[in-house]
Chain A
Amino acid sequence: MKELVIVSGKGGTGKTSISAALAFLSPQKVLIDCDVDAANLHLVSGAIIRETHEFKAGFEPNVDENKCTSCGQCTDLCRFGAITAGVITTPFNCEGCGVCAFNCPEHAISMLEKQAGHWFLADTHLGQLIYAELGLSVENSGKLVSKVRQEGKKIAKAKKFPLMITDGPPGIGCPAIAALSGASLALAVVEPSLSSIHDLKRLVDLVAHFKIPLAVCINKSTLHRENTREIIAWCHSKAIPIMGQLPYSDAFRIAVQSGKTVLEMEDAAVIEEMTKLWHNLAKRLEVSITESNIGFFRRKLHIFQ
């Protein structure tokens, strides 16, 4: 099974729209959304949740008031300033390290497993989708990403699907690392803007650090021709293949607003370039290119009309 992870240094480059469009074109795949901070793929794919699972990770301290003598030991030892004499004063600061619990002379603190979020299995018109929602301001986004990946792989295996398409998280921190490690191919979506180029360079370093093959897709390539040329030249110099160049188009925004993929909009240039992108990726990943069932049936229907 191949794992294609769509990433971009920064959000808002069109990752989700491109993931959805690729899923639309790919015949047999599982979709996963690893942006557990702010999952979006379910919003454009008509997701119907079939299963909801709790996700527990990490710990939080629970103080037994009856045992606590307010000696202040925990206050001194907590490096995150979260506890004052047996009272969790700033829960947002608590990292759940357990130092207070292990060192309380009265054994007044127990560490309880923390509810860290949920993950969902959903049916969508693009195929099965796994996505997740991280609890508010909890850590462990990396672990939740790993969980989502693991569940996606299970489905792919059970159904013998050759491909898993991942809508990756932004940034280069723990969720991005968790989504990328061991992937077959990372597809970096970049816009021809100075900031996006800067982010791409950092992403390239990260991907190299974890030794993952990388390819680039330029989105909104017509926004700034010189910068587009610069990206192409830069990628060329680094031997990074460019899989596609999508033109700037309002179709992306309208598609999102109407809960559809950009391929269902009537923008011939976008459809053509997106299809090219998918062909290049499929070839690279060695998975079958054939149109998705939906596309196939649509065409049949058109013949009848």
Chain B
Amino acid sequence: MLISIASGKGGTGKTTLALLLASIHSDITLIDCDVEEPNCHLFLKPEWQDQGQEVAVMIPQINIELCNGCETCSTVCLFNAIAISGGAALLFNELCHSCGGCILACQQGAITEDKKLIGTITTGTSPIFPAIQFLSGSLDIGTPSAVPLIKAIKEKVSHLAGDILLDCPPGTSCSMVTAIKDSDFCILVTEPTPFGKHDLELAMNITHLLNIPTGVVINKSDENIGDESIESLCHIRQIPVLAKIPHSFSFAKEYAAGFIPDEFQAVAATIWSQLNAKGSEGI
């Protein structure tokens, strides 16, 4: 089962939940898809298998010798990634989406393609949790789009059977959608504040659009007004609340120091039993 862990708002505890769930499983693949700010490795302290695999996208290379400045390429590039300067085409590679449109359009054969590195995927196992097979993506600084890297890391595990957990990027934009796409189940982590609720609703819209069965976990729950408003939202949207993780200072403290506390293992176990029940129903 491919389970993605997401949330509209950052910092609600996606990584915490991913680690909690992974830590009590007997055989699981955990993927850190939050490639802008990967964090899982800080807790797992894995032994990396090797240097990691570099991920590249193809971007155009303009041969100025052949270019006659006809502007065809800059016209077809809908991302404004090409400008004509000094009678020749000039590429702004941060804007390029690697669509290949300019190459098809150039009549002079002045454009070829070359690789541009955007990030790295590393694989490892943690001595603390040997049952976790761990993959982590890390986006190179200054690279605007994480989407190709997230696609590459998901590709790598697409053939795997068994349970796979994805720690997704926050938000509701293209990176988050790329990460949760094709998952069998999506857990949205939220916290019982108006911020959490507002952003949870946005995230629910996305899973609804993508047709992914969804459940909610309320983190930093205080059994109070905040919880109620989240629960009533879930009720209206007919999305189950899988579990609540109580607000706990001691947990926050251990977590800050880079440990996965044992405190909420029982909660994680109830989430797994619900997931497995859904899995056997064929979702």
For A104-138 the 0/1 string (1 means CB < 8 A from B) is 00000001000000000000000000000010111
Indicate whether B256 reaches chain A with its CB closer than 8 angstroms: yes
Q: Which residues of A contact B177 (CB under 8 A)?
A: 92, 137
Q: In whole angstroms, how far apart are the Cα atoms of A243 and B78 in the complex? A: 43
Indicate whether A13 reaches chain B with its CB closer than 8 angstroms: yes
For A208-229 the 0/1 string (1 means CB < 8 A from B) is 0100000000000001101100
Task: Choose from B144, B220, B255, B256 the contact partner of A142 (Cβ within 8 Å).
Answer: B144
Least CB separation from B226: chain A residue? A257
Q: In whole angstroms, how far apart are the Cα atoms of A137 and B249 in the complex? A: 35
Q: Which residues of B contact A172 (CB under 8 A)?
A: 36-37, 139, 141
Indicate whether B195 reaches chain A with its CB closer than 8 angstroms: yes
Q: In whole angstroms, how far apart are the Cα atoms of A194 and B16 in the complex? A: 13
Indicate whether B261 reaches chain A with its CB closer than 8 angstroms: no
Task: Choose from B98, B101, B105, B225 the contact partner of A257 (Cβ within 8 Å).
Answer: B225
Q: In whole angstroms, how far apart are the Cα atoms of A125 and B228 in the complex? A: 27
Q: Which residues of A contact B124 (CB under 8 A)?
A: none
Size bracket of the B interface: 35 or more
Task: Choose from B78, B170, B172 the contact partner of A134 (Cβ within 8 Å).
Answer: B172
Q: In whole angstroms, how far apart are the Cα atoms of A95 and B98 in the complex? A: 10
Size bracket of the A interface: 35 or more
Do A10 and B170 touch (CB < 8 A)? yes
Do B36 and A171 touch (CB < 8 A)? yes
Indicate whether A177 reaches chain B with its CB closer than 8 angstroms: yes
Q: A223 to nearest B CB, angstroms?
A: 5
What is A's interface to B at a CB cutoff of 8 Å?
A: 9-13, 16, 37-38, 40, 43-44, 58-59, 77, 79-80, 92, 95-99, 102-103, 111, 134, 136-139, 141-142, 169-177, 191-195, 198-199, 202, 205-206, 209, 223-224, 226-227, 248, 253, 256-257, 259
What is B's interface to A at a CB cutoff of 8 Å?
A: 8-12, 15, 36-37, 39, 42-43, 76, 78-79, 97-101, 104-105, 139, 141-146, 169-177, 181, 191-195, 198-199, 202, 205-206, 209-210, 220, 225-226, 249, 252-253, 255-258
